[in-house]
Chains A and B, each alone.
Chain A
Amino acid sequence: MTSVVARDRIRAPQRPGDVIFSTATVVAGSLILAVLAAVAGFLLVQSLPAFVAAPADFSGGFTNFWAYVWPLAFGTLWSALLAMIIAIPLAIGIALFISHYAPRRIAQGLGYVIDLLAAVPSVVFGLWGIGVLAPLVQPFYANLVDWFGWFPLFAGPVSGTGRTILTVAIVLAVMVLPIITALCREIFLQTPVLYEEASLALGATRWEMISMAVLPFGRSGIISASMLGLGRALGETMAVAMVLSPSPTVLFQLLTSQNPTTIAANIALNFPEAHGVGVNILLATGLILFVITLAVNMIARYIINRRKAFSGAN
């Protein structure tokens, strides 16, 4: 018997303050889960009417919800994919520059400068995209269509305003750069210094050291950082809504004035004037967007968490 008593842990007295405080923290924590569930629940409830809506309720001559949402989903994925193709190599380059190339003393300051990009509101990016970037790249697009028009992606006729999906992809790439860069930088800095020094001692050049020690170590980190950036690019609204001149079609051409729009931009453009079932339809497209981004983010976080276990960083 005595052994059992001895094994009992000594418990601190449960004071009212302790109970109230710890309960408050548990409630706050659980509230976050509840909010996420509520986001999914309320969106689902409000979008049910859209799935059985009559053909007359859809704009653009679509007959049912899935036909309506398909070009939008395509535009969302296509623009995000283009943005990632531009952003990922750049972000890896910037992260390498800050972590391994820039002088140590100014490296952190350079990181802040890139982080400033993340703080610029998306509506300002929209204004910049349409006021500065689109006119800047339009002559370049015209040349591209003239010279490479035989290539299906660059087929004409060229857009006269530059408000094409490629411009949108460039703006999106600039917006997701700081996210991917910040994560990649952290991961590159976690590379064991011994690996780096060992490869340098064996006579490797800096690039050989990076390609043989840093990049393999950071591969899963790069993947998950890119997926987080992808999540941001998928959900970005205002920049796309302002820059793109939309049409509800599935088109791969990058430089014409016919561009597939994205779910988020479509909601932002049509929501203020929507009424009746139209509101439910837009909410339902929002639900689709939520599901897509949730899946992307969950996969990214899963990869990051799995990596944490064996990185030895903590």
Chain B
Amino acid sequence: MSSTTATRAANTPQANAYAAGKLPRNSTLYVLLASWIVTGAVFLVLQLSGATSGFNIVGTVFFGTVLYCVAIYALSYAVEGVRRAKDRLVTALVTAAFVIALLPLISLVFTTVVNGLPAFLTPTFFTESQRNVVGAGGGALHAVMGTLEITGVATLISVPIGLLAAIYLTEYGRGRLAQAITFFVDVMTGIPSIVAGLFAFAFFSLLFQDAGIRFGFGGAIALSVLMIPVVVRSSEEMLKLVPNELREAAYALGVPKWLTILKVVLPTSIAGIVTGIMISISRVIGETAPLLIISGFTASMNYDLFSQRMMTLPVFVYTQYANQGTDTQAYLDRAWAGALTLVLIVMLLNGLARLIARIFSPKLGR
């Protein structure tokens, strides 16, 4: 037995028992490039023959990747056998899935920036409202103000309630009530945003007996309904991370429980809590549907949360798109500029949140 293998190895001098039946190292890369070039050539021929107008780069990448999946499977099947072939195919598919998910993100950010910049850079965009503006010109100051006020009030309502509820769940809660709150907080994170708006409308129209009620504070209530569960979840996770030894050390020194929470537990986890709050703000600041329902839309400035319709940025984007006047391009430009503002705010909040988490996170071994 051993002698036959030995002779066979001697007959084929380059055969390496460990590298036999394996594709060369960079073969995946070469196969991928080759399949893109082949499909690119096909589309080039199609373009030159006049079947398609312009070079179809999306099609090249897409069909090239499909071709790659087939090619790598076939090659690997021939050289390495069916198990390796399947493995390589799945690797290709999984990587492709990730790249596919990136495409909409890239396309979205790109189009928002390109379409939004013209109106975004006009000097009046952040200094004027849409009052008496027909066609081009005007700005989104009223919407920016409305968004800041409504989101600010929603934050003021949600943070104390959410934080206290999180403290209850981690520090006090035992038994049925805590279980119920945990469960329904999770369920509440899934409430559709428009239902929150309908709730605020139903509540305030009953309260004030006004069937057509629209005002900014109602929007803040609707946003808090969406925001509280997010704040509870993130704060709870952060409070759970505080080591029990810290609490026990405080108790041993005779510190009352409430002071322990205020002076030991909260300061230890404050960075994570702030991060969670900022992410929850970035979640609700882009909500359109509830504000469309309860805050309505207007073209004028309105600083008063408690009377009259109030414009917000997401609703501004929607109404500029939905009610295009005669000068369509001006309205679309403003819609994209509003979208760009929103995306910038959201990205900024997310970035800041990550930065705070990175800088202030408790160092190990302290």
Where the two chains meet, the residues of A that have a C-beta atom closer than 8 Å to any C-beta of B are: 12, 15, 17-18, 20-22, 24-33, 35-36, 38-39, 42-43, 45-46, 89-90, 92-94, 96-98, 101-102, 110, 112-114, 116-117, 119-128, 130-132, 136, 174, 177, 181, 205-208, 210, 228, 231-232, 234-238, 242, 264, 267-268, 271-272, 275-276, 279, 282-283, 286, 289-290, 293-294, 296-298, 300-301, 304-305
A93 lies within 8 A of B98 (CB):
yes
Among B187, B225, B259, B261, contact of A301 (Cβ-Cβ < 8 Å):
B187
Residue in B closest to A235 when the chains form the complex, CB atoms: B192
A93 lies within 8 A of B94 (CB):
yes
The 7 nearest A-B residue pairs measured at CB:
A235-B192, A121-B286, A93-B97, A28-B164, A25-B168, A21-B258, A297-B190
Complex: how many Å from CA A194 to CA B283? 38
Query: Known contacts being A31-B161, A33-B180, A228-B190, is A120 close to B343, with CB within 8 Å?
Result: yes
| B161 CB contacts on chain A under 8 angstroms | 28, 31-32
B346 lies within 8 A of A120 (CB):
yes
| A294 CB contacts on chain B under 8 angstroms | 187, 190-191
Of B10-18, B35-43, B80-88, B132-140, the stretch lying at the interface with chain A is: B80-88
Say whether B75 faces chain A, with CB atoms less than 8 Å apart: no
B190 lies within 8 A of A232 (CB):
yes
The B200-217 residues at the A interface (CB cut-off 8 A) are 201-203, 205-206, 211-212
B83 lies within 8 A of A205 (CB):
yes
A46 lies within 8 A of B93 (CB):
no
| B184 CB contacts on chain A under 8 angstroms | 32-33, 36
A32 lies within 8 A of B195 (CB):
no
Closest beta carbon of chain A to B357's beta carbon, Å: 11
| A17 CB contacts on chain B under 8 angstroms | 256, 258-259
Complex: how many Å from CA A38 to CA B342? 31
| A18 CB contacts on chain B under 8 angstroms | 256-258
Among A29, A110, A119, contact of B282 (Cβ-Cβ < 8 Å):
A119
Among A24, A30, A112, A119, contact of B346 (Cβ-Cβ < 8 Å):
A119
Closest beta carbon of chain B to A208's beta carbon, Å: 7
| B167 CB contacts on chain A under 8 angstroms | 25
Residue in A closest to B203 when the chains form the complex, CB atoms: A42
Query: Known contacts being A21-B261, A101-B91, is A90 close to B192, with CB within 8 Å?
Result: no
B93 lies within 8 A of A93 (CB):
yes
Where the two chains meet, the residues of B that have a C-beta atom closer than 8 Å to any C-beta of A are: 58, 83-84, 86-87, 90-91, 93-98, 100-102, 104-105, 107-108, 111-112, 115, 160-165, 167-169, 171-173, 177-178, 180-181, 183-196, 198-199, 201-203, 205-206, 211-212, 225, 228-229, 232, 256-259, 261-262, 279, 282-283, 285-289, 292-293, 296-297, 314, 317-318, 321-322, 332, 335-336, 339, 342-343, 346-347, 350, 354
| A117 CB contacts on chain B under 8 angstroms | 101, 104-105
Query: Given A39-B195, A123-B286, A208-B83, 13 other A-B contacts at CB below 8 A?
Result: A26-B172, A35-B225, A89-B97, A97-B97, A117-B104, A119-B347, A126-B318, A127-B335, A207-B91, A235-B193, A264-B194, A264-B289, A276-B211
Residue in A closest to B167 when the chains form the complex, CB atoms: A25
Residue in B closest to A128 when the chains form the complex, CB atoms: B108
B104 lies within 8 A of A174 (CB):
yes
Most chain A Cβ neighbours within 10 Å, of B105, B185, B206, B232: B105
Complex: how many Å from CA A102 to CA B350? 23
| A12 CB contacts on chain B under 8 angstroms | 256-257
Complex: how many Å from CA A279 to CA B202? 10
| B317 CB contacts on chain A under 8 angstroms | 123-124, 127
B292 lies within 8 A of A271 (CB):
yes
- Pairs across A and B, CB under 8 Å, 19 listed: A18-B257, A26-B168, A29-B178, A32-B188, A46-B206, A113-B102, A121-B343, A123-B317, A124-B112, A177-B101, A206-B87, A208-B83, A237-B193, A282-B198, A289-B195, A290-B191, A293-B195, A296-B190, A301-B187
Query: Known contacts being A17-B259, A207-B87, A234-B192, is A90 close to B202, with CB within 8 Å?
Result: no
Complex: how many Å from CA A289 to CA B287? 18
Residue in A closest to B338 when the chains form the complex, CB atoms: A123
B199 lies within 8 A of A124 (CB):
no
B206 lies within 8 A of A35 (CB):
no
| B205 CB contacts on chain A under 8 angstroms | 46
A124 lies within 8 A of B339 (CB):
yes
